[in-house]
Amino acid sequence: MRVFIALDLPKDIKSILFNLGREIKGRYPFIKPVPEGNLHITLRFLGEISEEKCEILKENLKDLGKSFPLKLSKVGGFPTEMGARVIWVGFEESKELFELSLKVDTIVDSLGFPKRDKPFVPHITLARTEKPVNVENFKVKNLTFFAKEVVIYQSILAKPNAIYKSLKVIHLEGD
């Protein structure tokens, strides 16, 4: 099974970001927006793992700390804003988000999963495209929301979009 760990988003934030993705699609009709229900912040992608390893992960991923605020800050792109193939929304710097990512990494690494191969870059993917686009003129409202739930998801590859199945929800304290 294909698995990742993510910070879930409140429904109102998902709706606002989905509408931003549609706005960008209005300018670039060929982009593929992420479905509203699939919007999240990936904390760690694990890829293909066995059901047994997934059960061990579910048993051990807990006590991840307190709920904390995140503030949306900008629209960006990978590999660059002027040649984006992945269009994303980022945040004002958050020590708590990096600490959460480190906690998740520590638990996952202790269970024998392969180490993270790239540094953690917190973002919410809005859309993907094969043809690079310029996103430097798009803006996101500087909204603040609380990070309340970490979810272990199974990603089922399907057309036209992947299906994300929640396997375990970990509530952050104070939620």
Domain count, the chain: 1
40 is catalytic: yes
CATH number at residue 38: 3.90.1140.10
Strand order in the sheet with 124-133: 32-33, 124-133, 84-91, 68-78, 144-147
Q: Tell me the per-residue pLDDT of 32-65, one tens digit each, with 9 for 90 and over.
A: 999 999 999 999 999 999 999 999 999 999 999 9
Domain span including residue 106: 2-171
Active-site residue (options: 3, 13, 34, 40): 40
Structure token digits, residue 3: 């698995």
pLDDT tens digits along 125-165: 999 999 999 999 999 999 999 999 999 999 999 998 999 99
The one-letter amino acid code at 45 reads F
User: Distance (Å, rounded) from C-alpha 10 to C-alpha 60?
Assistant: 25
Q: Point out the catalytic residue in the list 31, 123, 140, 152.
A: 123
